[in-house]
Chain A
Amino acid sequence: MVEILEMIAAGQTDFRTTPMPRHKLTKAQWEQAADDAARGHVSLLGLWATRGAVHMALMDPNSHAVGVFSLENRRKGFPSVARLHPPAQRLERSITDLFGMRAEGAEDSRPWLDHGAWKITTPLAKAAPREGDAPDYDFLPVIGDGLHQVPVGPVHAGIIEPGHFRFTAQGETVVRLEERLGYTHKGIDHLMRGASIARGAELAQRTSGDSTVAYGWAYAQAVEAALGVTPPPRAVWLRAIMAELERLANHLNDIGAICNDAAFALMLAQCGTLREQVMRAAHAVFGHRFMRDVIVPGGVARDIDSAGRGMLEGLVHDIARDFEPLVELYDNTPSLLARTVGAGILPVDLAAQFGAGGYIGRASGRDFDTRRDLPYAPYDKLVFKVPLRSDGDVNARIWIRIEETRQSLNLLGELLRSLPEGDVLVPVSPMKEQREGLGIVEGFRGDVLVWVALDARGRISRCHMRDPSWFQWPLLEAVIEDNIIADFPLCNKSFNCSYSGVDL
């Protein structure tokens, strides 16, 4: 175990500003790393492949040092990480679907992204035309008396993203939930390959609409680190303002939507008006409701003037004023608390094992926030509290969001006050050699990780974007077990995982 930790510590460079080195591992070391992750000595941040190689991003949970490790010359397969460390399972199945490399020794070798609808197989390796029909997807067997299955989705009654949920229930009690995702597969990995840096930024910001800014920033960080570019301070401040606006809008929406799933529509209506104010302010100041395409590698594409600054200050003031009565309303509605308290409990050990990010992890005792623990400008100069709870139920996830909303409002006020003057964009030019960079940003859902490899012409040879939901979706399956079917929508909304972000 010491080996991997030592390698992380030895190779430690500031990945925020310089290219990310990769440690090449032997097969035995790779297996050792997987074992370390399973034992909790290191946290798995990401697992992805390039042609003929697999890579892992690992973090020392104590010192928060990060390292990227590779196992190369692997055309056919690689030793399974999920065999020892289950959180890697869906990532591995995706690698097999996209690159054709098998996870050797994995318990679950069913396809994940490939639903049999593509005309080719293994699109990112040597793509081969599909022969015959793909076999039916085998859901995990459930054995017992009086069990019945309830298939839900991928098309739902409401306007939400598509995903299939297979419940096996005994009466109302859920015995097993199995998720099947991949319905919003867009081939982003493929589109990224060979794209220019600017095109890559556009693609990254279209990966998961509600996390546009987080993706844009993480991608920009990765590219800037790879090329050794430092964006000007004003650009960094504006990025943080946008990131906090995004967090604010999403948290407000989530708080209302969770209550609405307990049929308390009043909260959604009230939170909805607040969210709409944020979205309109974003549109007025940054030109787009989701602030799309404002962040570009090298800075931001759009500066704000004093009018925009005043508008945002007014927004922060209004929301701070109107939000607290809603918190009161939530806390003083016993019928609502009767639904959220004690519902959908995520145990602390599971949150730690899966490295669950965002409100899901922080509601279950995982004290981690990228902004504080893997600090990046401008958060390294700001003071804020990271809320933490250990009860892990729907109520806890709502309260983490409430606290983070308050923090975001404070941060926005601070960022607007201390906004430095100056340029907002520096040129980004290719380096005539291969470069790799890593970016990690705290989105509203959790840590968004982007790893970019650039070729000598400055084109993207591989870009891997790991949504926080990769490690959150499996936990939803665990949370609903032994719960009742009718409580699933509430638990699901309190998780609010991204479909698009993991379907890529």
Chain B
Amino acid sequence: MELIFNLLVQGLQMFLVVAIAPLVAGVTHRMRARLLRKKGASIWQPYRDLLRLMRKEVVLAENASWLFRAVPYLVFAATWVAAALIPTFATGLQFSWSADLIAIVALLGSARFFLALAGMDVGTPFGGLGSSREMMIAALAEPAMMLTVFSLALLAGSTQLSTVVEYLAGPGVGLRVSLGMALVALVIVALAENARIPVDNPSTHLELTMVHEAMVLEYSGRHLAMIELAAALKLVLYLSLIAALFVPFGIAAPGQGVGPHLLGLLYYLVKMLVGAVALATFELSIAKMRVFRIPELLGAALMLSLLGTLLLFVSRSL
């Protein structure tokens, strides 16, 4: 019985992240538009866009290889698996034994690797430009992410996400400096990974300043739909991760009944909404950084996460 329930919860969670990903993007767009004193598109617009792209014909460059066609599905699959592993509203997921934070980082890393390859595949200068910039950002964002993972793992005694979340949701945590540092580091990494301002501008039309958009410039039709959905999914992933780790209240523990699970679901949706609004507000208050200053920002994230880990070590051994 419990197995069935857990499977159900896992299934619902997998479905949920994909289902709400365009909505979170839509809410962010809408919020941004409202703050700019514009009417803005409906929050359901991303769904319509995806549907439109799905129906459209795929235009492929003549010299595109099989890799170029396979990458959208690879990226989507890897991102989806990673997103499915995050405890959004319940920790008792069927696959939680595999929900290792390092695995999530690795899945996202592979998705990025393939996308960067696809960016260079067709041989247009923008793809290469985007790929090289993406890799420069990744080279700093990934270690920062790993160190954040380590400081959380040190605290909870495990890199397994469910265990970490359960520990953080428990009473024994309290306020910790290293947790604060990890949060700031994770937020910076999330902004960089999701190509948001100040690292990248998701709504730009300027080819020369693009990072993520430059890599996927050659994609169209259902391929583009896959990539757009994967990008929206990645945003949900990071928002969920931050929510699960740093505001873990309301998450249903394993073995609890239907009621707490439903409550957890409600809490989760509210957290996503708050996250989307906060993101839109933050993005409007700041300009994009000069490309060569991005390493400084990510370097700060890296230092913060490193300091957090060190502080934990020091306080442990005393």
Contacts and interface: CB of A to CB of B under 8 A. Distances in A.
A486 interface: yes
A486 B205 contact: no
B234 to A, nearest CB: 20
Interface stretch (B113-121, B173-181, B286-294): B286-294
A262 to B, nearest CB: 4
A377 interface: no
Contacts of A338: 287, 289-290, 293
A427 interface: no
Residue in B125, B198, B208 whose Cβ sees the most chain A Cβ within 10 Å: B208
A148 B288 contact: no
Contacts of A150: 125-126, 129, 208
A132 interface: no
B16 interface: no
A336 B290 CA distance: 10
Interface string A258-269: 010111111001
A338 B38 CA distance: 27
B201 interface: yes
Contacts of B132: 171
A339 B287 contact: yes
Given A150-B126, A151-B125, A489-B208, A484 B291 contact: yes
B305 to A, nearest CB: 23
Contacts of B285: 266
Interface stretch (A33-41, A61-69, A152-160, A299-307): A152-160
A142 to B, nearest CB: 14
B316 interface: no
Contact of A269 (B38, B201, B204, B288): B38
A335 B290 contact: no
B94 interface: no
The number of chain A residues touching the other chain, given as a range, is: 20 to 34
Interface in A328-347: 333, 335-336, 338-339, 343
B291 A486 contact: yes
Contact of B292 (A172, A259, A263, A336): A172
Interface string B270-308: 000000000000001111111111000000000000000
A73 interface: no
Contacts of B49: none
A158 B205 contact: yes
Contacts of B201: 263
A265 B291 contact: no
A168 to B, nearest CB: 11
Contacts, number: 80
Interface in B168-213: 197-198, 201, 203-209
B36 A489 contact: no
Contacts of B207: 152, 156-157
Interface string B60-102: 0000000000000000000000000000000000000000000
Nearest to A484: B291
Contacts of A343: 290
Contacts of B287: 259, 262-264, 333, 335-336, 338-339
A157 B125 contact: no
B182 to A, nearest CB: 24
Interface string A223-239: 00000000000000000
Interface in B245-276: none
Given A151-B125, A172-B291, A156 B205 contact: yes
A485 interface: yes
B36 A269 contact: yes
Interface in B122-180: 125-126, 128-129, 132
Contacts of B290: 338-339, 343, 484, 486-487
Contacts of A171: 132
A74 B132 CA distance: 54
B192 to A, nearest CB: 14
Contacts of B291: 172, 484, 486-487
Residue in A156, A259, A262 whose Cβ sees the most chain B Cβ within 10 Å: A262
A335 B35 CA distance: 19
A486 B209 contact: yes
A289 to B, nearest CB: 20
B11 to A, nearest CB: 39
Given A151-B125, A335-B289, A338-B289, A157 B205 contact: yes
B206 A261 contact: yes
Contacts of B292: 172, 484
A152 B210 CA distance: 13
A338 B291 CA distance: 12
A149 interface: yes
Contacts of A15: none
Contacts of B284: 265-266
A273 interface: yes
Contacts of A335: 198, 286-287, 289
A485 B208 contact: yes
Contacts of A489: 206, 208-209
B37 A273 contact: yes
Contacts of B209: 261, 263, 486, 489
Interface of A: 148-152, 156-159, 171-172, 259, 261-266, 269-270, 273, 333, 335-336, 338-339, 343, 484-489
11 contacts: A156-B207, A262-B288, A265-B32, A265-B284, A269-B37, A273-B37, A333-B286, A335-B198, A338-B293, A485-B129, A489-B206
Given A266-B35, A338-B289, A339-B288, 4 more contacts: A159-B205, A265-B284, A484-B290, A489-B209
